[in-house]
Amino acid sequence: MTDEQIHLLRKSFDAIEAQTHVAALVFYRRLFALDPSLRPLFKGSIEEQSRKLIDMLGLALSLLTRPGALEVELRELGARHRTYGVRDEYYDTVGRAMLEMLADVLGAEFTPMVNEAWAKFYGFMAETMKSGAATAAPLQTKATAQ
């Protein structure tokens, strides 16, 4: 990512962070509208999930200047998400919901350059998380666990 893209990500995230509750709820509303079958993957309250989402984005953005550390975090996150039942095809839906949420919450501040920065950043996050999931221990089904 370029320095300008990193700047745009951080600046726009500051605006999202100022509206954390709204942003995260908009994200989950969009996600479940796009694919209602994803709702059962979220066992806790949406408020708790919202906090986790914003915290993870903040952590990822803080590690942008330390790509090795960011990659480790994302691979581990991908491996954990696999244990929750997350499949590779879900990442496209999540990315779409995230970009739609950003557009909605940021309004006019969601310029084409901001959109491009977030799309690139999310693409990197998703691919790295999928990579982490692929190298995680195989999931056990009830039949194989017995």
Other CB atoms within a 10 A radius of the CB of residue 140 amount to 10
For 119-126, what is the mean pLDDT?
97
Residue 10 lies in a domain: yes
pLDDT at 136: 75
Residue 86 lies in a domain: yes
Could you tell me the residue range of the domain that residue 32 belongs to?
Answer: 3-36+50-136
Q: Please state, in angstroms and rounded to a whole number, the distance separating the CA atoms of residues 138 and 85.
A: 11
Residue 75 lies in a domain: yes
Residue 41 lies in a domain: no
Give 17-61 pLDDT, tens digit per residue.
Answer: 999 889 988 999 999 999 999 999 888 788 888 888 899 999 999
pLDDT at 145: 39
Residue 144 lies in a domain: no
Q: Please state the domain count of the chain.
A: 1
Other CB atoms within a 10 A radius of the CB of residue 38 amount to 17
Is residue 118 within 8 Å of 64, Cβ to Cβ? no
CATH number at residue 27: 1.10.490.10
Residue 118 has pLDDT above 90, yes or no: yes
Is residue 78 within 8 Å of 129, Cβ to Cβ? yes
Residue 43 lies in a domain: no
Residue 19 lies in a domain: yes
Residue 107 lies in a domain: yes
Rounded (5°) CA angle 107-108-112:
105
pLDDT at 137: 64
